[in-house]
Amino acid sequence: KAGVTQTPRYLIKTRGQQVTLSCSPISGHRSVSWYQQTPGQGLQFLFEYFSETQRNKGNFPGRFSGRQFSNSRSEMNVSTLELGDSALYLCASSRGGMTTNEKLFFGSGTQLSVL
Amino acid sequence: GDSVTQMEGPVTLSEEAFLTINCTYTATGYPSLFWYVQYPGEGLQLLLKATKADDKGSNKGFEATYRKETTSFHLEKGSVQVSDSAVYFCALTEPTGNQFYFGTGTSLTVIP
């Protein structure tokens, strides 16, 4: 069974640009959640999508957005990039989502560098 | 609000040493507790979990016991190996909550 796939693996952008990251969950999983990981802040929750609807959202500005498609694949978009957005972005999938206390299956992440 | 506090790292141990990584939590309800591990260059993997007080999660020689009276979920291993070198994250989720709360992670390096 294939795991969670995130693309691209690495990205380099400049300030002011926008970026789109992709996450393909494990087959049968309807929940995809996104996280930002930095050395200083640790792992922070961005948002969760379930069956194409955003179900939960963390405390990030509106520049961070996402969507989920009918095949459960999800994209995350960051507009007007700032230097502080440099981080490892992880997505995780699960069958029922975070409210079911199920374990999360993580992808390897997309390392975003903003210059 | 809910939160998770982990002991700060980095932690460096010799092979076969005893490991403890402390984790305490603050929660309004009765959360489920997790330990995740992140090996170099990889995403997080669930290491173990416990869903109610006094439960003990275990996997790959690691153990953690859900202690409601001390609001703790400390990770332990009796004899660490070089291959255990990784970053370990404590996390919780409320039964009716809507997100996971992670600790900041503890980096472990095991030297031969």
| Spatial distance between the Cα atoms of A95 and A27, rounded to a whole number of angstroms | 9
Record the tokens describing residue B19, joined without a space: 């490991």
- Rounded to an integer, the average pLDDT of B59-75 is 96
Contacts of A38 in chain B (CB under 8 A): none
| Spatial distance between the Cα atoms of B43 and B54, rounded to a whole number of angstroms | 29
Q: Is A101 within 8 Å of B32 when comparing Cβ atoms?
A: yes
Q: What is the DSSP letter of B80?
A: -
- Note whether A10 and A110 are within 8 A (CB): yes
pLDDT in tens, A2-27: 799 999 999 999 999 999 999 999 99
Q: What angle do CA A54, A11, A38 make, to 5 degrees?
A: 65
- Note whether A49 and A64 are within 8 A (CB): no
Contacts of B34 in chain A (CB under 8 A): 103
pLDDT in tens, A37-61: 887 777 888 989 999 998 877 879 9
Residue A22, helix vs strand vs coil: strand
- Using alpha carbons, select from B109, B107, B89 the residue that is nearest to residue B25: B89
